Structure 1
Amino acid sequence: MTTAATTAAVPRPEKLPVWLKATHGLGSIAYGVKDNGFSTFLLLFYNQVIGLDAGIVGTAIMVALIADAFVDPVIGELTDRTRSRWGRRLPWLYAAPIPLAMAWMLLWSPPEMSDAMTIAWLIGFAIIVRSLVSMCEVPSVAIVPELSADYDERTVVMRYRFLFGWGGGLLILYLAYRWFFAGSLGLVDPAGYFPYALTGALLMAGAVMLSAVGQHRRIAVSNLDQPRPTAKLSHVLRDMRETLSNRAFLWLIFAALFAFINQGITFSMTNYLLGFFWQLSGDEMGDYVFLLFATMVAAFLLVAPLSAKLGKRGGAILAGAIALIVNSSMYLAWIQDIFPGLPGKPSVAVFFAMVFVGNTFSIILMILSSSMMADVVEASQGETGRRSEGLFFAGYFFMQKCATGIGIFLAGQILSFAAFPASAKPGEVGDAVLGNLAIGYMVAILIIGTLGLIVMRKFPISRADHEARLALLDDAARAEPDASGAHP
């Protein structure tokens, strides 16, 4: 361990009150609302309502997504270096929400202008919105390793973030299906997008502000708030490169890359799979939203005992394997014509049951991966002497956004492979096309997911490693005053 490692404090491995964990998780509603908009409605809005070509809109969204990804590491480093009387993170959480709400409204309200200007509007405000969400999410999630160094408690904190993040996204989705777009025009009703955007803006701004206020007393003054001094750009870039070269960090983001590619494929194909493949009705789509929230609750309850039993790495690998097997097997059953309800409409009850199991364990995998990222902080601190929570989670988000872009691209390739027709109607797409869609989707998620689990086995931090590292850092911090001559 370097001498520099003792210059940064280490949080206590303590259990946190439930109110603090819930208040912290509340802020992730903004991320859930943003994700719902970009994954489910933005392409449809600019294509079907505004009238732009779908291929151009998809490309514009991917350009904005990848451009925004490069902003995240900068935000992470800036939050780690922020100096204020409220510490490193709170100024960002107070400053970003109101501009985020305004930018969100503008994203869904393009004025009448040429197609080229509308595309520029889409790209520009998509980047602004995603960057402002990062200014809320990066400092917020960077607080997790600062709240407690306890190996299991970090998983518990993360599960609250996922609970509220999924809850926020599913709430706005439910309101969209049942209220904003309940008319005869459905999801292409222009009148539904103003209340959709306004509700999302209020939810995002309100959640982040309430979360910041609720945590203020706990995190405004912290013994961990020892930001690095202002340095030359070359020194900042050197520190960032050194920090992000951490072996545990690289293995983790490499493994998560495959998981988020699969997530990107699945999310971007959701409306195709639900409407055309599984042929869900409007009411069943509403029930599907409740089902997804139930999977989040199940993951919330199961992730802590699973992690306690197997450790984060072992729990993540088991959860990922179960999710892969269940999610691929229902498409294999359809291909083999043995899924209940065939021929005809597949059984909704069986489909929902399999989604419940598969999605529950998919979420558990994501929660444990995020919790593992928190443990990377101390591993890096032992090597560099710096606590770089913001930079690490920003790097994680950078990878996630790039992977999602890849997933969207691959989803398009799967649809092309299946020769999916334009202007298709549920129940009227041929079995050959649906079969190719099932084969393409199943093979893609199986190969990509299996590679991710193989890489996950290389993650080097176990519970014992983490606790031993905490002890070394704590001993070094206690010994530092004597070594520096501060005490006789």
Structure 2
Amino acid sequence: MPVEERKPLSVMSKICYGLGGLATEIYWSVLGAYTNIFLVEIAQLPPLFGTSVVFGGRAMDAICNFILGPLIDRTDTRWGKLKPWILGAGLLVAPVYILLWYVPDVGSEGKLVWYIVLSIILMFAKTALNVSSRTYVMFLSPDSLERDSATAYRGIFSFVGITAAVAIHGQIVGAYSQAQIDPCAISNDTGATNGTNGTMDNAFLAEVKTGYLVSAGVVSVIVVACVIAVVFGTTELRDISKTSRQQRNQSLVKMLRAVWTFRPNVIMLMIFFCVQMILFVLLGAAVLYVQYGMDLPDQIHNSMLAFAVSAVISVPVVGKIVARFGKRITFMCCQLALIPTSLALQFLPSRSAVAVLIICVLLGMSGSAGLFVPWTMLSDVIDDYSLRTGRRLDTWFFSMALSVLSLTATVGLGLTTITLEIGGYKAGACFQPESVGTSLRMLVSIVPAAFALICVGLIWKYPITEDRRRDIKEELENRKTPSEEDHTLNKEGWEGSNGDVLHPGYGDVAGILKTSNEDEVLLSPESDLSVLVECKETIL
């Protein structure tokens, strides 16, 4: 029977899919920007303990990508392949995220164990949510342009998530950080800095801890609401999900080799590493840089907000530039613009609030492409692989990309805590040595600029040009989708929708079934049905 023509992907479906980006970014941005300062100042862990928490959680994140990718790929339920994972992971993230901001009274070693265990659990849920929600775009539509549009929506909502994270967390925690009970503010007003360095008292810490927990509760409610929108506001195409069933019996090593040795994907993974290294270094050290490198603790939330708002506004502009000049050229120009902008962080005069806000706006504009253009490029890589091999490994490609991101987060956030240790950071102290600010300036300027330059070279080598992308789209459209026929016939024999030959060698049967009017041919007296009898006996 003829296949019903698919309707174009609606704007509402794109919005609901995009909310998945908000769900992951709103809590991930708070973790990326405030984990270091929370562990060393509020939880009062030594910097090396903070590094252990960061590395322990992120290492688990990378491992989970290798575990959960195959599990998700083999999932097939009446509710779909990915929706059960999106809903389950989203509901698990919320309570664990709240507990992560609780400070138990168990000593430094006990706190270390507490945060490592919770980080591992959170990373498991976060990985499941990220892999399933990221891969979900491939199951929304078979059309690459519609998927690119949905990915752009997710990019916009990702930056909305960053903005919301900065606004919600910053305002709530700021409301609980009252200056009248802040011993650091008191000693500064009275000038009591003669060779002494006060520490934060219990009353101040108790208020700030409460603020972190309230913020975590609000963020968790938003995460759950967004996850529900993704699950119930979109439709997962089941005919597409069926195409990955053929991989169930393949070995893990074979599947990993297929993904890691596909040349366009190798270059794409290196691009992901560079782009995310820039993002995680900037986000992980931004709060500390503004506070200690620029001596502007009162401008922390404004600076983060300026970065996020400018990025949100820039995403539609970058999308139009991509449509006009292509992904490679647009992305390359954005990375080139990022180099002088990040280097400027090294030379900004201290306590210059206007200069900090201007640079944050420019960083948001040049960095906006990093949260959605690489993911649209990965979609092209998956289509190219499907065209070349006839197999779909959507979940595997996305899970490997996310494993690279996990590795990058580990290195990026770890660099921040190591920089604090090198600079001589003192946990809980009201005033830090000048060397801390100097170390942070070097981190947020030199490292992003270096990786942006490397990224430019990788994009230049990226093999999927705009012409190649159009060719891939045309060839895939010319192919029959898996839902058109459960089985097709070729000259080699009867093939299933997964490409496996069920019975070879019956080219004459193929000729009969490929006739325009199959029913009349099969029932006509001239048809030789003996070959079908032989086929049946052979199969049985």
Q: What percent of counterpart residues are identical?
A: 17
Alignment of 1:74-223 (within 5 A): 74-109=67-102, 111-113=104-106, 115-182=108-175, 183-184=177-178, 188=205, 189-215=208-234, 218-219=235-236, 221-223=238-240
Q: Does 1:268 align with 2:261?
A: no
Q: How much has 1:368 moved relative to structure 2?
A: 0.9
- Decide whether the 8 Å contact of 1:81 with 1:229 is kept in 2: no
Q: Per-residue CA shift, 1:217-245, capped at 9, x if unaligned? A: x216444433315845x623312321332
- Decide whether the 8 Å contact of 1:80 with 1:391 is kept in 2: yes
Rounded to whole Å, the distance in 2 between the matches of 1:464 and 1:20 is: 29
Question: Counterpart in 2 of 1:407?
Answer: 412
Aligned-partner SS, 1:82 = coil
Alignment of 1:185-334 (within 5 A): 188=205, 189-215=208-234, 218-219=235-236, 221-228=238-245, 231=248, 235-282=251-298, 284-332=299-347, 334=348
After TM superposition, the structure 1 stretch with the greater mean CA deviation from structure 2, 37-46 or 369-378, is 37-46
Rounded to whole Å, the distance in 1 between the matches of 2:86 and 2:301 is: 33
Rounded to whole Å, the distance in 2 between the matches of 1:415 and 1:354 is: 23
Residue 318 of structure 2 aligns with an amino acid whose one-letter code is: V
Distance 1:155-1:350 versus aligned 2 partners, 3 A rule: farther
Q: Per-residue CA shift, 1:276-316, capped at 9, x if unaligned? A: 2333353x334334323321222222121111222111111
Question: Counterpart in 1 of 2:33?
Answer: 40
Rounded to whole Å, the distance in 2 between the matches of 1:52 and 1:256 is: 31
Distance 1:327-1:161 versus aligned 2 partners, 3 A rule: same
Rounded to whole Å, the distance in 2 between the matches of 1:16 and 1:165 is: 20
Question: Counterpart in 1 of 2:458?
Answer: 455
Q: How much has 1:425 moved relative to structure 2?
A: 5.5
1:438 to 441, 454, 465: 441
Q: Per-residue CA shift, 1:348-376, capped at 9, x if unaligned? A: 33332232122211121332111101111
- Decide whether the 8 Å contact of 2:259 with 2:265 is kept in 1: no
- Decide whether the 8 Å contact of 1:155 with 1:371 is kept in 2: yes
Q: Per-residue CA shift, 1:300-355, capped at 9, x if unaligned? A: 221211112221111111111111222213434x3xxxxxxx5x632x33332232
Q: CA RMSD in A?
A: 2.9
Distance 1:384-1:127 versus aligned 2 partners, 3 A rule: farther
Q: How much has 1:414 moved relative to structure 2?
A: 4.2
Rounded to whole Å, the distance in 2 between the matches of 1:176 and 1:263 is: 19
After TM superposition, the structure 1 stretch with the greater mean CA deviation from structure 2, 398-407 or 171-180, is 171-180
Rounded to whole Å, the distance in 2 between the matches of 1:145 and 1:168 is: 22
Rounded to whole Å, the distance in 2 between the matches of 1:64 and 1:200 is: 20
Rounded to whole Å, the distance in 2 between the matches of 1:455 and 1:424 is: 43
Q: How much has 1:435 moved relative to structure 2?
A: 4.9
Q: Does 1:386 align with 2:391?
A: yes
Q: Does 1:469 align with 2:479?
A: no
Q: How much has 1:415 moved relative to structure 2?
A: 4.3
Rounded to whole Å, the distance in 2 between the matches of 1:220 and 1:110 is: 44
Aligned-partner SS, 1:454 = helix
Q: How much has 1:418 moved relative to structure 2?
A: 5.1
Distance 1:141-1:33 versus aligned 2 partners, 3 A rule: same
Q: Per-residue CA shift, 1:22-41, capped at 9, x if unaligned? A: 11011222211331232133
Distance 1:481-1:88 versus aligned 2 partners, 3 A rule: same
Residue 351 of structure 2 aligns with an amino acid whose one-letter code is: K
Rounded to whole Å, the distance in 2 between the matches of 1:355 and 1:93 is: 33
Q: How much has 1:101 moved relative to structure 2?
A: 1.5
Q: Per-residue CA shift, 1:416-470, capped at 9, x if unaligned? A: 56556666667x864x764564345423222222112212211111222122123
Distance 1:424-1:363 versus aligned 2 partners, 3 A rule: farther
Rounded to whole Å, the distance in 2 between the matches of 1:422 and 1:107 is: 19
2:401 to 396, 406, 418: 396
Residue 244 of structure 2 aligns with an amino acid whose one-letter code is: P
Aligned-partner SS, 2:245 = coil
Aligned-partner SS, 2:480 = helix
Rounded to whole Å, the distance in 1 between the matches of 2:104 and 2:293 is: 36
Q: How much has 1:395 moved relative to structure 2?
A: 0.8
Question: Counterpart in 2 of 1:481?
Answer: 488
Residue 383 of structure 1 aligns with an amino acid whose one-letter code is: R
Distance 1:390-1:120 versus aligned 2 partners, 3 A rule: same
Aligned-partner SS, 1:377 = helix
After TM superposition, the structure 1 stretch with the greater mean CA deviation from structure 2, 123-132 or 323-332, is 323-332
Q: TM-score, normalised by structure 2?
A: 0.77
Distance 1:412-1:61 versus aligned 2 partners, 3 A rule: closer
Aligned-partner SS, 1:477 = coil
